[in-house]
Amino acid sequence: MAVQGINNVNNTQPINQQKKKHFTDKFETHIKNSTDMSDCIAVPRTIFKGYLGIMFGTTLAAGANLIKKPSKLKTGLNLAGLALSTYGTWAFARPYVLKGAVPTVKPNTNK
């Protein structure tokens, strides 16, 4: 056993002090199945784009209908929302309509 000098001792954290937990650690202590926090679902990129298109299109259309008076802004937002929702529907359904158009996601591949 080697003896170290007092100047070389690096004690940055007291022994009795607990390490600060992250925000997500609080969830892991209160859920029954802890693997729910670290699950990975492989979703093809076009299906994800479809979700985003449908969500943003619906948001634009809802925002346009909050405008009371008919105007070019209201018409433009409605048309943009309709276009995004249509694209989102196509992007969501494309892997099922055109077989082999989108390769499946492999979660263990590193690029």
**Which tokens hold the place of 18?**
């607990």
CA 21 from centre of chain? 22
Query: What is the Cα–Cα distance from 96 to 45, expressed in whole angstroms?
Result: 13
Per-residue pLDDT of the chain (111 residues; tens, 9 = 90+): 666 566 655 555 555 556 666 776 666 666 666 565 566 666 778 888 899 999 999 999 999 999 999 999 999 999 999 999 999 999 888 877 776 655 555 666 655
Element (H, E) at 53: helix 45-64
The structural domains of the chain, with segments of one domain joined by +, span 45-97
Residues 64 and 73: their CA atoms lie apart, in Å, by 8
